[in-house]
Amino acid sequence: MNPSKKQVLILAGDGIGPEVSLVAKELLDLLDKKFSLDIRISEGLIGGIAYEETGDPLPKETLDKAKESDAILLGAVGGPLWDSLPSDKRPEKGLLGIRSEFNFFANLRPAILSKELVSASSLKENKVNDLDLLIVRELTGGIYFGEPRGKIQSSEEAFNTMRYSKEEVVRIGRVAFEAARKRNNKLCSVDKANVLEVSSFWREIISDLSEEYPDVKLSHQLVDNAAMQLVREPKQFDVIVTENLFGDILSDIAAILTGSIGMLPSASLNDTKKGLYEPVHGSAPDIAGKNLANPLASILSVAMMMRYTFEREDVALIIENSVESVLSSGKRTKDIAEKDDLIIGTKEMGQEVLSQIDSML
């Protein structure tokens, strides 16, 4: 790897992935030009399109490119076209594989409601105004990766295993406590300790770890209550830490509070600051190729890349402020539009943000 360059791999994937990734690529090109970041971009296949072309949802060529990259930007994977494939060939296996290969154990999913989109939220304004919370999800353990797993051929039965080691819980706990220290010193750990031994184990370890962070106020909630509280009083939370399956569900609930799942970025990090950055939305095959997708989550994922992998907080803030400025002008993609808004497409929204960034520099 050339240490003087910032190596970024773009994996556009399936559905609307190529559309939003193209906008992100144009953004990276602009940032490279304006800030002399010395970015080198490569592209690869993942998911359903990778299976169609190579027979593997995560081809060796893609893995080799990922190994040479500092950051990976993903579009989306999956779609009904591949639902009947064996589990090891499904598009999602490519995503799980790349998370596991590079130990992207810490998934950061901010849920920040733009002041311009308060009316687009499914909750009343007083419940979500100034909403800003962070979900820290453990990403490489739990029931998604636990063994044994499978289907019993001789009977109508299938099984999965939820499993965590102390090391896995401690390392994600540290990420969450450190994040809370940079925010409002408040952390809620979510589990199902009243039923699951793994959750009871999780709660014990997080509680013990909290002794190293006396300045952070730690609380615990059961996952069913946490889900209810997210749609009842979401501003009671600041940072939430939880295991893989619960984090998957809770982060999607938090996403809809912000007006659209098309607004939310995410970062998945390992111990070396190498990161996988992706919008939270799925592949949305029903609108693929129609210039309807919201590219803002992909744009904001680039902002997270600048913040966490390349440590350019200044660039991240310029991207985020530019998105806010475009929204304040009344321009919207269809998913976040109301009757008086000007509805524009994927490409047009991307150009609006890029033009705003260009004008600020």
Tell me, yes or no, if the pTM score tops 0.85.
yes
pLDDT (0 to 100) of residue 1? 44
Give the confidence band of 119 by pLDDT, cuts at 50, 70, 90: confident
pLDDT(155) > 80: no
Catalytic residue among 32, 132, 252, 341: 252
Q: Is-catalytic flag, 5?
A: no
Q: Which of 1-5, 50-54, 131-135, 314-318 has the lowest mean pLDDT?
A: 1-5
All domains of the chain in start order, with CATH: 1-105+270-361 (3.40.718.10), 109-263 (3.40.718.10)
Instruction: Tell me how far apart the alpha carbons of residues 151 and 196 are, in angstroms, rounded to a whole number.
Output: 22
Instruction: Tell me how far apart the alpha carbons of residues 192 and 224 are, in angstroms, rounded to a whole number.
Output: 8
Q: How many residues does the chain have?
A: 361
Rg (CA), the chain: 20
Catalytic residue among 56, 70, 238, 248: 248
Eight-class DSSP state of 192? -
Say which residues have a Cβ less than 8 Å from residue 191's Cβ, sequence separation at least 6.
Answer: 199, 200, 202, 203, 220, 222, 223, 242, 243, 246
Catalytic residue among 29, 38, 64, 224: 224
2 CB burial (10 A radius; 0-12, 13-18, 19+): exposed
Which of 6, 4, 8 shows the shortest CA–CA distance to 298? 8
What value does the mean pLDDT take over residues 126-143?
A: 94
Query: Token pair for residue 303?
Result: 């902002």
320-325: list long-range contacts, CB under 8 Å, 24+ apart.
321/360, 322/353, 322/356, 322/357, 322/360, 323/114, 323/296, 323/299, 323/353, 324/114, 324/115, 324/116, 325/356
Q: Is-catalytic flag, 192?
A: yes
Catalytic residue among 51, 192, 274, 308: 192
Q: Is-catalytic flag, 67?
A: no
Give percent of the chain above pLDDT 90: 85
Q: Is-catalytic flag, 341?
A: no
Catalytic residue among 51, 56, 144, 308: 144
Q: Is-catalytic flag, 51?
A: no
pLDDT (0 to 100) of residue 256? 81
Give the confidence band of 3 by pLDDT, cuts at 50, 70, 90: low
Instruction: Tell me how far apart the alpha carbons of residues 101 and 313 are, in angstroms, rounded to a whole number.
Output: 28
